[in-house]
Structure 1
Amino acid sequence: MTSWTDVINFVRTRYEVLEETGDWLRFRLDTEESRTQQVSVHHVTGDGAAWLEISSPVGYADKIDARRLLELAGKSLVGGAGVVDGVALLKHTVPLADLSVRDEFERPLHLVVNQADAFERELTDSDEF
């Protein structure tokens, strides 16, 4: 059984952690062409189970084409688009129980981060996040 502590330890040993609370981590990953992308992982509960919510910013919601973001997210293998505190995000959720951190966490983590970075590049032509 995988625990939230296992996920925290996995992230700490592999990535630059920028911020951490009891149920939330924010860290940075390198992407293509010297770009970086921030990502957050939240430990959440719902439906009687524990989940990991992976989210990565795309841009400020009031500065991007929201329709285009939804079109891009609709074609993405992982994630859905949302806005939290004025920031447009690509989000994906995975169950924590019996999670293989290497395959069932790290794989969607990289997919979300790479897609969010590509969306940010297309929608803002910048690397703010």
Structure 2
Amino acid sequence: MSSWTDVIAYVRTRYEVLQETDSWLRFRLDAEDGRTQQVAVHHVAEADGREWLEISSAVGRADAVDHARLLELAGTTLVGGAAIADGVALLKHTVPVADLSVREEFERPLLLLVASADAFERELTKADAF
């Protein structure tokens, strides 16, 4: 069984943490061709006590991204869905914390999501802002 504390420890030992609070982490991963990609992981608890991790990675500023193309691209991914939050277009994926295998149920979706977000950012914005 994993906990939010286990996830924090896992991320701290593997990635450059940029910001951290009691309920979320923002960190950076290396991507292809010297690019980097920022990721946020939010710890979310439902009213009944069930805990979730919401993994998100930015694609670009929402006002600078072709929304229809973003949705088409998101439809090709194995994990994650497109969303807009606080003016940022992103991919996000949610996993339950209970009985979480950090390596298989967190790390694998994380890496897939980040690779897709970086590829979408490259195509849709021609930049590496996130």
Q: What are structure 2's unaligned runs of at least 5 residues?
A: none
- SS of the residue corresponding to residue 75 of structure 1 reads coil
Per-residue CA shift, 1:53-82, capped at 9, x if unaligned? 000000000011010000000111100000
Write the mapping of 1:76-115 to structure 2, written as runs, cut at 5 A.
Answer: 76-115=77-116
**Which amino acid is the alignment partner of residue 40 of structure 1?**
A
**Which amino acid is the alignment partner of residue 112 of structure 1?**
L
Per-residue CA shift, 1:23-59, capped at 9, x if unaligned? 1000000010110000000001237310000000000
1:24 counterpart residue number:
24
- SS of the residue corresponding to residue 8 of structure 2 reads helix
What is the TM-score with the length of structure 2 in the denominator? 0.97
Between the aligned partners of 2:46 and 2:90, the Cα distance in structure 1 is 20
Between the aligned partners of 2:77 and 2:109, the Cα distance in structure 1 is 11
Structure 1 residues 17, 44: closer, same or farther in 2, change over 3 A? Answer: same
Q: What are structure 1's unaligned runs of at least 5 residues?
A: none
Between the aligned partners of 2:20 and 2:12, the Cα distance in structure 1 is 10
Structure 1 residues 81, 47: closer, same or farther in 2, change over 3 A? Answer: farther
**Which amino acid is the alignment partner of residue 80 of structure 2?**
G
2:68 counterpart residue number:
67
1:13 counterpart residue number:
13
What is the TM-score with the length of structure 1 in the denominator? 0.98
**Which amino acid is the alignment partner of residue 100 of structure 2?**
L
2:127 counterpart residue number:
126
Runs of at least 4 residues off by over 4 Å: none
Between the aligned partners of 1:103 and 1:75, the Cα distance in structure 2 is 21
Between the aligned partners of 1:46 and 1:74, the Cα distance in structure 2 is 27
RMSD between superposed Cα atoms in Å? 0.8
1:40 counterpart residue number:
40
